[in-house]
Amino acid sequence: DTTHGAILYLEEITVSFDGFRALNKLSLDISVGELRCIIGPNGAGKTTMMDVITGKTRPTSGTAFFGQTMDLSRMTEYQIAHAGIGRKFQRPTIFEQHTVFENLELAMKTDKRVRPTLFARLSSEQHGKIDEILKLIRLSGSERRLAGLLSHGQKQWLEIGMLLMQEPQLILLDEPVAGMSDAETARTAELLNELRGKHSIMVVEHDMAFVTEIAQQGVVTVLHEGSVLAQGTMAQVQSDERVIEVYLGR
């Protein structure tokens, strides 16, 4: 069984836009607890792949499974989000007029489908969860600050914290260090390394130094023209002639 232990399983996914194949028989799977980096030149299909996984784009053909049983191609965006796939876009979608703490509170996963309300009494367990995430996202001590006053990097971390509050089973991060300073990028790498093994994470990123930091001995997938060009450790893909050609040969 090739899907054993896979949280995400894409098989021969094709997405055609007026005959143009943004994804062309893309096959890829992510194991539970894996931190997978996805790289590839502009137009490779990275965004389209994320859109298929989150239900924003329907595949023209192919199979997309989440866990062992959930067929993503038959689910709405809402159902997929509820099933536990969380996506962080490049542009943060935090509540700027609320504090850091309130942002985390608002993002908290609720058992029933009730809207979380601010200032409702939090259980000590819920408080503990927020404290733990504040520490992870390097915002302990800043919980009473207005989110709108945070630095660019802090806003990105807050949004990662908000994703984690929802306890997603698969986290998709779209260029998490875009626009960050070197110091913020380094701290983001530390943060992701702390999440390693505890969460299943897919990171799409252009910053190769950052990818090298977080990939470590894990698998890096290189997309090109809508399918997988190469896959392996960072050292393996970096020395792959086909990869060198698509990055440098144009």
Spatial separation of the C-alpha atoms in residues 50 and 60, rounded to whole Å: 15
Q: Judged by CB under 6 A, does residue 46 bind ligand ADP?
A: yes
CA distances from 154 to 136, 147, 166, 177, 187 (A): 12, 9, 19, 11, 10
**How many residues belong to the site for ligand ADP (CB under 6 A)?**
11
Helix orientation angle between 208-215 and 182-195, rounded to the nearest 10 degrees: 30
Stretch that binds ligand ADP, among 36-44, 127-135, 191-199, 213-221 (CB under 6 A): 36-44
Least distance in angstroms from the C-beta of 38 to ligand ADP: 9
Q: Judged by CB under 6 A, does residue 161 bind ligand ADP?
A: no
Q: Judged by CB under 6 A, does residue 40 bind ligand ADP?
A: yes
Maximal CA-CA distance, the chain: 59
Q: Judged by CB under 6 A, does residue 42 bind ligand ADP?
A: yes
Least distance in angstroms from the C-beta of 153 to ligand ADP: 22
**Whether 203 contacts 176, CB under 8 Å:** yes
Q: Judged by CB under 6 A, does residue 54 bind ligand ADP?
A: no
Least distance in angstroms from the C-beta of 47 to ligand ADP: 3
Nearer residue to ligand ADP within complex by CB, 86 or 226 = 226
Q: Judged by CB under 6 A, does residue 227 bind ligand ADP?
A: no
Nearer residue to ligand ADP within complex by CB, 18 or 111 = 18
Residue ranges of E strands in 130-238: 170-174, 200-204, 220-224, 227-232
Query: Which of 6, 7, 10, 22 touches ligand ADP by CB under 6 A?
Result: 22
Q: Judged by CB under 6 A, does residue 107 bind ligand ADP?
A: no
Q: Judged by CB under 6 A, does residue 43 bind ligand ADP?
A: yes
- 32 three-state secondary structure: coil
Nearer residue to ligand ADP within complex by CB, 17 or 89 = 17
Q: Judged by CB under 6 A, does residue 250 bind ligand ADP?
A: no
Among 61, 118, 130, 249, CA closest to 240 = 249
Q: Which two tokens stand for residue 135?
A: 């520490």
Spatial separation of the C-alpha atoms in residues 55 and 36, rounded to whole Å: 20
Give the strand pairing for 170-174 and 20-31. unpaired
- Binding positions for ligand ADP, rule: CB under 6 A: 17, 20, 22, 40, 42-48
